[in-house]
Amino acid sequence: MSDVETTIRTRRDAGSGALIAYLPIGFPTLEESIQAAIAVVNNGVDILELGLPYSDPVMDGVAIQKATQTALQNGFRVRDAFTAVERVRAAVDAPVLVMTYWNPVVQYGVDRFAADLKSAGGAGLITPDLIPDEASDWMAASEAHDLDRVFLAAPSSSDARMRQAVEASRGFVYAVSTMGITGARADVDAAARGVVARLRDAGCTSTCVGLGISTAEQVRDVLSYADGAIVGSRLVAALSEGGVDSVARVAADLASGTR
């Protein structure tokens, strides 16, 4: 098993599930984004999902869009992602996935990106706009460099797409809790349970739910039927409003939902 799979299984065997945190690289600055990532792990986060800023973030909500645009305006470059991963991994013992739209990987070079990510200590990629039947280059590179590949499944996914995501993914399958973009919501869409159930029927052994999770209560609810809960916008908002200390406090509160 990969480090991500091992972490999820360990948390599941302990009677809970994994808390996964999304934070964008380079926001508010590269240094602060690194310190924020370290802080959330030190406050109960099990797996990190570091976002690579991109100029056309079609899946991201307002909070994350603003953060990634700030990072780009401040001069973010793809190579900064590897710096961030390497420094975070040197400070904390938690798997680090990079979440990225596919175009930056293609422009950088798929095999080169995979090699540099592995060298930095990264665990793999979450690719929200890449579907398995268009991912042959990434499948080959991830196999060559022993990296996880996390594909998405949504309420609208057909049974065939569900099976395809399960068969192609390594680490976990990212179950999108609702149709739409990221952002904290008062209620995580009930469709999340349906997506997870359908993934289980398709043979999935590791499913994590994202989009709309913002409270410890929602984390606890999601972990009652899924293997992991992914929180992004709430953490990004906390970092924006109160810096590293604020995001650390929010992470600790969210982590209380895993106990």
Active site residues: 49, 60
Cα distance between residue 216 and residue 163, in whole Å: 31
For 129, phi and psi rounded to 5 degrees? Answer: -110, 15
What are residue 50's DSSP bridge partners? 23, 98
The alpha-carbon radius of gyration of the chain (Å, integer) is: 16
Helical H runs in 14-128?
Answer: 30-42, 62-73, 78-91, 102-108, 110-120
- Residue 150 carries which DSSP code? E
- Strand, coil or helix: what is 95? coil
Q: Look at residue 200 and give its three-state secondary structure.
A: helix
* Sign of the Cα pseudo-torsion (24, 46, 139, 136, in order): negative
What is residue 93's DSSP assignment? -
